[in-house]
Amino acid sequence: MVRSETKKKVGILGGSFDPAHKGHLAISIEAKKRFRLKEIIWAITEKNPLKNKSQNSLSKRIKECKKVTKDKKYIKIKFYEKIIKSNKTIDLINYLKKNDKIDIYFIMGADNLINFHKWYKSKEISKKCNILVFDRQGYKRKSLKSKTYINKKPDQLTFVEFKKVNISSSQLRKI
């Protein structure tokens, strides 16, 4: 991905955020700092295509995301699916790429990299944005052996090691 220093660097962290937690916040803060992102969009999905239905309503999840990020004005909470008529990541990226003044940095946890090759048009996603993969407790080895990581081009994907927050939405739902 060719980067232009005149373009605004925007991070996208997509997911169901069921619930939003300090791990989401930690990788957003780290991505902003390390990659000099001006803004980060938490793109909430009604339903993750690879997961079961969310336990909490969309409106409750949006409200919780806003509460978690209230002190971070650079994090925007957005629901695009009604606008773009899709829950596919590539459709969101294509929609955002209509603004040619931004560079997109797609943020994900290492657990998502393991099955990224199964995502709809994953190769196209890799070509259209910078992918930042944040290490997660217990997923590093598997993610670094994933099809996507092994076949990546050097400028398409960055594996980010940092002080991990050992928490997940599925763990929180069990509490």
- Mean pLDDT by runs of 10 across the 175 residues of the chain is 74 95 93 97 88 86 96 97 95 95 96 94 94 92 93 89 62 42
pTM of the complete model: 0.88
Helix then strand then coil, in percent of the chain rounded to 5, is 40, 20, 40
In angstroms, the CA 111 to CA 134 distance is 9
Domain ranges (residues) in the chain? 8-108+122-133+154-174
Q: Report pLDDT for 36.
A: 97
Q: Report pLDDT for 148.
A: 92
Q: What is the CATH number that goes with domain 8-108+122-133+154-174?
A: 3.40.50.620
CA 114 distance to own-chain centroid? 14
